Amino acid sequence: MNSESQEKNNRQGLLTNITGAGKGKTTSALGSALRALGRGWKVTIIQFIKDDRPTGEKLFFQNTTLPVEFLSMGVGFSWEASITPEEHIKAVAEAWKIACHYLKDEATELLILDELNVALHLKWLQVSDILPSICSRPVRQHVIITGRNAPEELIAASDMVSEIKEIKHPFQLGIKAQPGVEY
């Protein structure tokens, strides 16, 4: 058995939650995706809130031959008044249905559920409905959940939790989000 096969057989999948009010939750998860892809892992990223806007990460993953699937399933930011709660709930339910497929897939070695914490906080999904699927995933599958306001039950179930805290942000100076840095 080569060292790569041995590493995979010895791996224990972790549940990681990256939460907090600061910028960098998705960025951190995508950094983990790059590490996993560098190891040849199959990675799936599902965005629960973000829509089909052409972000830098979306453009990158659309133009790569690496073993990654990138699915933006949301309808837009939660604070956008033009989007009804019903539209968000429908999109989030569909994203969760797709996530459940990957949570059963032995070949998916890293699954990123981007902004799932937001959907849970806003009660578009219930923690009690998602935890059984997350906890019964394949033993070697890593899952990273991102978003503000991680529910306490999900924090308790996680193996690792990191909180991103905003100390200073260019938005406070009137500087808009910058392509290539923030999206």
**In which domain, by residue range, is 154 found?**
11-173
159-176 pLDDT tens trace: 999 999 998 887 788 888
Q: Is 83 a member of any domain?
A: yes
Q: Is 183 a member of any domain?
A: no
C-alpha 132/C-alpha 104 separation (Å) is: 12
Q: Is 4 a member of any domain?
A: no
Q: Is 65 a member of any domain?
A: yes
Q: Is 3 a member of any domain?
A: no
Of 4-8, 9-13, 147-151, the least confident: 4-8
pLDDT at 75: 92
62 vs 6, more confident: 62
Indicate which CATH number applies to the domain containing 159: 3.40.50.300
Burial of residue 160 (CB within 10 Å: 0-12, 13-18, 19+) is exposed
Query: How many independent structural domains does the chain possess?
Result: 1
Q: Is 161 a member of any domain?
A: yes
**Is the pLDDT confidence value at 100 over 60?**
yes
Query: How far, in whole angstroms, is CA 154 from its chain's centroid?
Result: 14
Q: Which two tokens stand for residue 12?
A: 């224990």
Q: Is 121 a member of any domain?
A: yes
C-alpha 55/C-alpha 59 separation (Å) is: 6
pLDDT at 182: 80
pLDDT at 3: 60
Q: Is 38 a member of any domain?
A: yes
Q: How far is CA 141 from CA 121, 150, 165, 166, in A?
A: 25, 21, 28, 30
